[in-house]
Amino acid sequence: MTRDLFADATQGSPLREDLCPGAVVLRGFALAKETHLLASINEITAAAMFRHMLTPGGFRMSVAMTNCGGYGWVTDGKGYRYATTDPLSDQPWPAMPDVLLQLASAAAKDAGFADFTPDACLVNRYEAGARMSLHQDRNERDFTQPIVSVSLGLPAIFIFGGMRRNDKPVRVPLLHGDVVVWGGPARLRYHGVLALKPGRHALAGECRINLTFRRAG
């Protein structure tokens, strides 16, 4: 599945969709950098491999994860938190490649967050059937800082709820190259991802990769 950006531009289909106050989808914002982004992800995972972490309750996450930047998000029997080193190697996480940092900060700027400098990038890999159940992101220090997400590879259906777990979520398809900025009143909304449908993407292969940029420390 791809989007024809020329058709979008000429027929007026929006490249920018406001999901709710504080949440903006920038359709195709990462497309111009797709090859560079995927090469950078390969370098990150060569140094800090994708792994299935355990939830505090002992369940294996279906999404495989790694991190780059000064802080990395981890979960194990001790809980959810940010750590400056990879628990598999006890070494610092790989540095955040410049192409990732620049993309996240440009997207945040477009959405009205003028100086977003992320210090953490969580890299999620979804294979067929992998999903992320409804949750809030609240391990960061400063909720006035946005989160920027970049979708690559296979399409997924993102579910976007409200401030309470029981608020009915809306479904938002996220495609290769889409970038979403979540800030302000959207920052603490519940969200998740439905089980990935099997498929093959020309550049990314049989998976979806999502980057989420945060200011953790």
Cβ closer to ligand MD3: 33 or 189? 189
CB 139, min distance to Fe ion, A? 10
Site string for ligand MD3, 80-99 (x = CB under 6 A): --------------------
How many CA atoms are closer than 13 Å to the CA of 197, on its beta-carbon side? 11
Task: Name, in order, each residue with C-beta under 8 angstroms of 138's C-beta and a sequence gap of 6 or more.
Answer: 188
Pairing of strands 147-153, 179-182: antiparallel
d(CA 92, CA 69): 9
CB 38, min distance to Fe ion, A? 22
> What is the distance of C-alpha 211 from the center of its chain?
4
Q: Does 68 bind ligand MD3 (CB under 6 A)?
A: no
Single-letter code of the amino acid located at 39: A
Instruction: Tell me the two tokens of residue 82.
Output: 């940010």
CB 49, min distance to ligand MD3, A? 18
CB 6, min distance to ligand MD3, A? 27
Among ligand MD3, Fe ion, none, the one that 125 touches (CB under a kind-dependent 5 to 8 A) is none
Q: What are phi and psi of 190, to 5 degrees?
A: -65, 145
Among ligand MD3, Fe ion, none, the one that 124 touches (CB under a kind-dependent 5 to 8 A) is ligand MD3
Please give the residue ranges that form the binding site for Fe ion (CB under 5 A).
137
